[in-house]
Amino acid sequence: MKELDLLKKDWQKSEASFEQLSEKDIYAMIHKKSSSIVKWILIVSILEFVVLNGIGLLLPDPYNSKYNELHPYLSIAVNLNYFVILGFIYLFFKNYKTISVLNNASILIKHILKTRKIVNYYIYWNIIIGGYIAAFSFIDSWNQSWKESGKTDSIPDHGTAMILPFVFAMLFIMLFIWAFYKLLYGNFLGKLKDNYEELQKIES
């Protein structure tokens, strides 16, 4: 294609047109902060870990101890959750460390997307465990108020009757969170995903 030869000739001559930076300019540049996607993912992920765990710590439940006595398996879930969080943090940093700009483009993007996925799994885990605990408190407090009104005989019916609206509420919350993340990371990871797909397409 002779047009491409023409382009190549022009491209290689174009070097002369760039405004040359001095050593002083470059020196100033290397002391500036990076604003790369990886850096943003790290910041947002740390924020997510902090916020999600902070909510639990900042909202002390006055019924907590009594509640745990009533439902010992719940406290097992809470303790298990700490191990799971530690596991997620470990996996996150382990994957984060594998991101290297010296890898080829395909591996680099794969590692970034994998690291980000760990955080997504962590969020899903939180939604599940949060939903599980919320479901218990919700049904429990319903039963409690039912008991206080003195009609103890028909608790089970109402307990189960509340499951349906509860499930709808949970689904709505999950949908909301999902949409939020779609918006946040759609913008963030869109380019990465497009480029990764393009590389995969070349290889298929």
Partner 1 sequence: MKSELEHSFVKQLRENQNIIHKICRLYTEDEDAHKDLFQEITIQLWKAYPKFRGDSKFSTWAYRVALNTAITLYRKTKRSINTVGYEGNSHFVPEVHYNYEEEEQLKLLYKAVYQLNDIEKALIFMYLEDKDYTEIAETLGISEVNARVKMNRIKGKLKKLLNPQGI
Residues 174-193 that bind partner 1 (CB under 8 A): 187-188, 191-192
Residue 134: which region, alpha, beta or left (left: phi > 0; alpha: psi -120 to 50)? alpha
Tell me 143's DSSP state. H
Cα angle 105, 108, 109; round to 5: 85
Place of tokens 């900042």: 58
Which string of x and - marks every residue 71-110 that binds partner 1 (by CB under 8 A)?
A: -----------------------------xxxxxxxxxx-
> Nearest distance from residue 117's CB to partner 1, in Å?
16
Rounded to whole angstroms, the Cα distance separating 65 from 68 reads 5
Q: Of these, 69, 148, 153, 203, which contacts partner 1 (CB under 8 A)?
A: 203
**Strands, DSSP E only, in the chain?**
none
Stretch that binds partner 1, among 18-26, 54-62, 123-131, 167-175 (CB under 8 A): 18-26
Nearer to partner 1, 112 or 118 (CB): 112
Which among 88, 83, 170, 79 is positioned nearest to 121, based on CA atoms? 88
Count of residues touching partner 1 (by CB under 8 A): 52
Which residues contribute to the site for partner 1 (CB under 8 A)?
Answer: 1, 3-4, 6-8, 10-18, 20-23, 26-27, 29-30, 32-38, 40, 100-109, 112, 187-188, 191-192, 194-195, 198-199, 202-203
